[in-house]
């Protein structure tokens, strides 16, 4: 069977990436020794995935023991009670944030919510299970949640690429699904940069960047709760001398500060376009904007970027579908250099 051999200290983060991309073979047992972990894979990861995981990974051919019998998956726990297709849908909706699991349960399974919650609790071995009861909405981008199993705790510490991120899932925006996007951006940073995260939330981008580079990051957010956790996370990750948290509307904050940035992060995909003029005013010649937008195609966000920058010239460095938003619509990421 194909295995992915990686140094032990990377195992936790890589396991999450493999699970998110359905690459981990759950029927086989992970191998471990003092220095390395070997994950059993369903298929060989493509080049992009291998680069993301890191250069220290090695694809090898090796034998794995079979997993012990007993309920291991959500399907095993719910067998005979809910049909397999619906369980797959619920499983696909899982967001695991620290000790908290957030999942989606279709309305017609309302009567089974406690059962599903208990199964999710056993399956994930986390502390609290919440059900999504609204879309992400409003300026601060939070959603309503219903507690369905375990302890009713919504504050937790999530681990991501060596960073510890404290947050309350009820009061702030946070998506573990953006972990690989954050890593991609952080990996492109160079030492000495001045960076502005215009919509920083609990500061996952700034903390990851500052942990790995000698930089100065301004982490701005309008949500007082997100600001509070950003302050905590900066302290938890010991990056106080590199990240400055600022509470306020980014337009007003930047209007009163003479900041010129080498890099600006604009992860507010529903309305970041309204703030492009501010970003262009504060980006240095040759600086990079990481711009995000919900869109069906790349054309619209690219046209908006060009229009906002005019008469300055832009170079599109990269464009990608970060994740699916709804059928036909994507959370697009565009990296652009502004001259």
Residues forming the site for ligand SAM (CB under 6 A): 139-141, 173-174, 178, 199-201, 204-205, 220-223, 226, 249-250, 267-268
3-state secondary structure 157-220: EEEECCEEEEEECCCCCCCHHHHHHHHHHHHHCCCCCEEEECCCCCCHHHHHHHHHCCCEEEEE
Give min distance, CB of 260 to ligand SAM, in A: 19
Question: In the complex with ligand SAM, which residue's Cβ is closer, 168 or 221?
Answer: 221
Give min distance, CB of 272 to ligand SAM, in A: 9
Question: In the complex with ligand SAM, which residue's Cβ is closer, 74 or 222?
Answer: 222
Question: In the complex with ligand SAM, which residue's Cβ is closer, 46 or 235?
Answer: 235
Question: In the complex with ligand SAM, which residue's Cβ is closer, 6 or 268?
Answer: 268
DSSP state string for 4-49: EEEEGGGHHHHHHHHHHTT-B-TTBPPEE-SSEEEEEBSS---HHH
User: Minimal CB distance to ligand SAM: which residue?
Assistant: 201
Give min distance, CB of 226 to ligand SAM, in A: 5
CA distance 213 to 127: 34
Closest by CA position to 125, among listed 203, 183, 172, 73:
73
Residue 264: burial class (beta carbons within 10 Å; 0-12, 13-18, 19+): buried
- Max CA pair span of the chain: 65
CA distance 25 to 34: 22
Give min distance, CB of 300 to ligand SAM, in A: 19
Give min distance, CB of 48 to ligand SAM, in A: 21
The answer to whether 283 touches 276, Cβ cutoff 8 Å, is no
Question: In the complex with ligand SAM, which residue's Cβ is closer, 120 or 335?
Answer: 335
Give min distance, CB of 162 to ligand SAM, in A: 17
Question: In the complex with ligand SAM, which residue's Cβ is closer, 25 or 295?
Answer: 295
């Amino acid at each position: 069977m194909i295995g992915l051999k990686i140094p032990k200290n990377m195992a936790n983060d890589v396991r999450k990436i493999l699970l998110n991309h359905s690459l981990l073979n759950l029927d086989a047992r992970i191998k471990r020794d003092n220095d390395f972990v070997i994950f059993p894979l369903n298929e060989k990861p493509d080049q992009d995935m291998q680069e993301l995981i890191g250069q220290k990974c090695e694809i090898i051919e090796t034998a794995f023991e079979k997993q012990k019998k007993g309920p291991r998956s959500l399907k095993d726990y719910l067998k005979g009670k809910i049909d397999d297709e619906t369980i797959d849908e619920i499983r696909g909706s899982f967001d695991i944030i620290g000790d908290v699991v957030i999942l989606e349960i279709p309305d017609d399974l309302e009567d089974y919510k406690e059962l599903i919650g208990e199964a999710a609790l056993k399956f994930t071995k986390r502390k609290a299970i919440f059900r999504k009861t609204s879309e992400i909405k409003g300026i601060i981008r939070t959603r309503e949640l219903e507690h369905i199993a375990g302890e009713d705790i919504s504050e937790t510490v999530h681990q991501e690429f060596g960073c510890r991120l404290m947050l309350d899932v009820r009061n702030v925006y946070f998506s573990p699904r953006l972990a690989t996007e954050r890593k991609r951006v952080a990996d492109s940073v160079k030492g000495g940069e001045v960076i502005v995260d215009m919509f920083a939330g609990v500061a996952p981008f700034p903390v990851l960047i500052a942990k790995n580079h000698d930089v100065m990051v301004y982490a701005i957010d309008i949500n007082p709760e997100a600001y509070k956790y950003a302050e905590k996370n900066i302290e938890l990750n010991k990056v106080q001398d590199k990240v400055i948290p600022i509470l306020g509307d980014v337009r007003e904050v930047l209007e009163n500060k003479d900041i010129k940035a080498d890099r600006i992060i604009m992860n507010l995909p529903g309305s970041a376009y309204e703030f492009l003029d501010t970003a262009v005013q504060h980006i240095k010649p040759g600086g990079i904007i990481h711009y995000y937008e919900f869109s069906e195609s790349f054309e619209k966000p690219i046209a908006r970027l060009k229009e906002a920058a005019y008469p300055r010239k832009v170079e599109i460095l990269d464009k990608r579908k970060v994740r699916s938003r709804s059928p036909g619509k994507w959370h697009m990421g565009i990296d652009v250099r502004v001259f």
